[in-house]
Amino acid sequence: MSRLHVETVGQGPDLVLLHGWGMHGGVWSPVVPELTQAFRLHIVDLPGLGLSEPCEPYTLDALVDRIAEAVPASAIVCGWSLGGLVAMQWAKRLPQQVRQLVLVGATPRFVSGEDWDNGIEPEVFRQFAAQVGADYRGTLSRFLALQAHGGDAAKDTIRQLRERFFERPGGSPETLQAGLDLLLQSDLRQEVAQLNTPTLVLHGDYDKLAPVAAAQWMAEQGPQGVRVEICKGASHAPFLSHPSWFVGQLKDGLGD
């Protein structure tokens, strides 16, 4: 079994933080000090990223298996972007472990299709996949810029994402490609509609990677009792651009 890096800090209800594609757990660091006042955080580096060893095969189920073994038997799970897909799959597979679900900049399906207009064009991810082997740093920088595009604090958010990214080892081209494949191929709409887990959806209205329409879909089709909160002026990473709003939503909406 590959080694998974999990940093545990704070006191309170257990809250697992799952980052997005190409990043690592350090991306949460701006909101960690305040969150540790209310929660016991378990900050995960997804397999193959940051300080965690890669795993094979690189599927949502395999990622869930690695993480589920490394964190408490009952916890709140907060997933951002790709981490949101992992969190949804986790809640479907092991509902007894996922006490509450928080989805940040998340969507059950990232790419548009014949019956899904709430995503982005598949070609966007295919272009990143084609470039990541030849120009790793440049490709990651362009992806980080896309995540912040259009928001009120776009320049500062991009700067924070880039600073956090290079604090720990980056993923191999193989791991990054596998993660992009998950973004391209995953469709959890049916699974999300069947969840019984209390769910909080936090989304930016300028999100270009997971359009706000996906959050609105989850409000209508998602778990019973799902609550959706939209951050005005935020893009794909509201916890960086609007940290006080993000922390307030978690403190007010989560707990025992």
- Give the pair of three-digit tokens for residue 220: 């209508």
Catalytic residue among 19, 236, 241, 242: 236
Task: Kindly give the interhelix angle for 122-132 and 173-185, rounded to the nearest 10 degrees.
Answer: 170
Token digits for 119?
């995503």
Active site residue 236: yes
- In whole angstroms, give the CA distance from residue 138 to residue 127: 12
Phi and psi dihedrals of 43, rounded to 5? -95, 110
Query: Catalytic residue among 19, 207, 235, 241, which?
Result: 207
Rounded to whole angstroms, the Cα distance separating 41 from 71 reads 10
For residue 3, how far is the Cα from the chain centroid? Answer: 20
The answer to whether the CB of 12 falls within 8 A of the CB of 38 is yes
Among the listed residues 81, 186, 235, 241, the single catalytic one is 81
Cα Rg for the chain, rounded, in angstroms? 16
Whether 65 sits among the annotated catalytic residues: the reply is: no
Nearest to 159 by CA among 247, 82, 83, 241: 241
- CA 26 to chain CA mean position, Å: 13
Residues annotated within a binding site for substrate: 21, 81-82, 143-147, 236
Active site residue 207: yes
Distance set, CA 68 to CA 44, 96, 114, 171 (Å): 11, 11, 34, 21
- Catalytically annotated residues: 81, 207, 236
